[in-house]
Amino acid sequence: MSCAILWFRNDLRLGDHPALRAVLDRAPDQILFVYIWEPSEAAPWEPGAASRVWLHHSLLALSQSIEKKGGRLLLRRGPSLSTLRNLAQEHGASYVAWTRCYEPALVLRDTAIKASLESERLTVETFNGSLIAEPWEVKTTTGGPYQVYTPFSRAVFKLRERRDVLPEPRILPPAPREATSLQLEELKLLPRISWHREIEASWTPGEAGARRNLTEFVRNAVSDYEATRNFPALESGTSRLSPHLRFGEISPNMVRARVEEALREPNVGHSLGYEVFLKEIVWREFAYHLLFHFPQTTTKPLRPKFERFPWKDDPERLKLWQKGETGYPIVDAGMRQLWRTGWMHNRVRMIVASFLVKDLLVSWQDGARWFWDTLVDADLASNTLGWQWTAGCGADAAPYFRVFNPITQGEKFDPSGDYIRRWVPELSKLTSHVHHPWKSSVYTGGYPQQIVDHSEARDEALEAFARL
């Protein structure tokens, strides 16, 4: 009786899954669908607390989907190599497939695992199921990696080969009866205290939730995306697909295909929203391109001179920023939304990041670590790109003299103050002065004072950047 292994990682879905399709094409009698929990293998960037909450529910959804089609998901603890080797030996599997990862530690690990399994006469195949283009497929005219987004995006859009979206299989082969699995609760992904309840109430992890988000966004919002994406009070202004993409509950290939399909539908005129949204998908591609070619950037700036930047070691102000108690309403609203829901609007991410590195002069690495632990969509590539962009030390970085004014940013992108009032209840009764409550005659207090004067902090930051 033939047996094969499909190793799930950041690809927790059944639709548009090249590795799954390859396993099924070999027509095995049995398939070992396995997820291996061994976070230390991804050190120092093992999954953060919010990501683990999402992973718990995503694995539950995947397990249910596999069971409905006749298969069974096996949950194991690592190390990954010995787990895969033991599964193959115990059940006579001769073929192993998985979707490639691109995080530096995982690239090294997977390369070693593949070589070791092949030395034991197992057939091992790996596939791209996470990106539109592999990091090594997009090259500059000199054959090197890109460091600027615009020419990179042009190169991606010019790629001729477009992989068709693979259908979800109707049935799946069973797992061997004797194959054992841990219970999901034994992975201990959920926290002991109940801070995660609002995260669970705000999201629907799993492939079905991802597809529903995509369908609703394409049907109702993508055409206006260019006009609405920067306003955090508009919940439908963004796709909210980032955590689904992070865990591979939907593929960027499927997202691209669905948007392009919508553009071909009757009575759909040209809209800049479709184009801008697809470019955002390519920003994610750019992040992975950079991470693969410059793996040191998870902890070090891409531009070496920034290693000399005089960041401040200021645990007290860092804590106030983390808690959303800076005295700047748009900053505090974003940080509180992050803590309660595991997510923050992208425009607000830029504002709070700029405030940390340019108003407080606290290092981008401190910000990246906090986001990593608190975001349900914590993605090493995107997290690294975003923070280095804000700090001015990475690829295609914001110029050092670009310092967001948190008050004017709030006035511009949350003009009615609805977003601020939702997440900062101390200001819920303010209207015209919600962005600067200290000016209101009816403000009764309870909201913290500004921890820095923005004008003075901006001057200090510009001086430090100019010296560098």
DSSP assignment letter at 129: -
| Nearest CA-CA partner of 2 in 25, 34, 35, 36 | 25
CATH number of this structure's domain 304-467: 1.10.579.10
Q: Answer for the pair 19, 99: CB distance below 8 angstroms, yes or no.
A: yes
In angstroms, rounded to a whole number, what is the distance separating the alpha carbons of residues 33 and 466?
Answer: 55
Q: What is the pLDDT of residue 271?
A: 74
Q: What is the pLDDT of residue 273?
A: 87
Annotated domain spans of the chain:
3-129, 131-165+206-293, 304-467
Catalytic-labelled residue, pool 46, 90, 195, 346: 346
DSSP assignment letter at 356: I
Parallel, antiparallel or unpaired: strands 3-8 and 123-127: unpaired
Q: Answer for the pair 391, 397: CB distance below 8 angstroms, yes or no.
A: yes
Q: Answer for the pair 353, 387: CB distance below 8 angstroms, yes or no.
A: yes
In angstroms, rounded to a whole number, what is the distance separating the alpha carbons of residues 414 and 423?
Answer: 12
Q: Answer for the pair 399, 463: CB distance below 8 angstroms, yes or no.
A: no
Q: Answer for the pair 48, 373: CB distance below 8 angstroms, yes or no.
A: yes
Catalytic-labelled residue, pool 168, 216, 275, 283: 283
Catalytic-labelled residue, pool 200, 275, 280, 411: 280
What fold does the segment set 131-165+206-293 form as a domain? 1.25.40
Q: Which CATH number fits domain 3-129: 3.40.190.10, 3.40.50.620, 3.40.50.1370, 2.40.50.100?
A: 3.40.50.620
364 is catalytic: yes
In angstroms, rounded to a whole number, what is the distance separating the alpha carbons of residues 97 and 26?
Answer: 11
Rounded to two decimals, the pTM is: 0.95
Q: Which two tokens stand for residue 457?
A: 């902090």
Q: What is the pLDDT of residue 442?
A: 65
Q: 252-258 — which CB contacts under 8 Å span 24+ positions?
A: 252/130, 252/131, 252/132, 252/281, 252/284, 252/285, 253/16, 253/132, 253/163, 253/165, 254/15, 254/16, 254/165, 254/214, 255/214, 255/281, 256/132, 256/281, 257/165, 258/214, 258/215, 258/218
In angstroms, rounded to a whole number, what is the distance separating the alpha carbons of residues 271 and 263?
Answer: 9
pLDDT in tens, 272-324: 888 899 999 999 999 999 999 999 999 999 999 999 999 999 999 999 999 99
Q: What is the pLDDT of residue 159?
A: 82
311 is catalytic: yes
275 is catalytic: no
Could you give the C-alpha distances from 317 to 15, 99, 201, 313, 340, in angstroms and in order? 45, 41, 30, 9, 20
Catalytic-labelled residue, pool 321, 364, 370, 372: 364
Whether the ω angle into residue 44 lies within 30 degrees of 0, i.e. cis, is yes
Helices (H), 36-185: 49-68, 80-91, 104-119, 149-158
| Nearest CA-CA partner of 361 in 266, 459, 281, 443 | 459
Catalytic-labelled residue, pool 54, 387, 389, 423: 387
pLDDT in tens, the chain (468 residues): 899 999 999 999 999 999 999 999 999 999 999 999 998 877 778 899 999 999 999 999 999 999 999 999 999 998 999 999 999 999 999 999 999 999 999 999 999 999 999 999 999 999 999 999 999 999 999 999 999 999 999 999 888 677 899 999 999 999 999 999 999 999 999 998 778 888 989 999 999 999 999 999 999 889 899 999 999 999 889 999 999 999 999 999 999 999 988 888 766 666 788 889 999 999 999 999 999 999 999 999 999 999 999 999 999 999 999 999 999 999 999 999 999 999 999 999 999 999 999 999 999 999 999 999 999 999 999 999 999 999 999 987 667 778 999 999 999 999 999 999 999 999 988 888 899 988 876 666 789 999 999 999 999 999 998 888
CB atoms within 10 A of CB 325: 18
* DSSP of 410-437: HHHHSTT-HHHHHH-GGGTT-STTTTSG
Q: What is the pLDDT of residue 158?
A: 85
346 is catalytic: yes
pLDDT in tens, 89-127: 999 999 999 999 999 999 999 999 999 999 999 999 999
Amino acid at position 214, single letter: L
387 is catalytic: yes
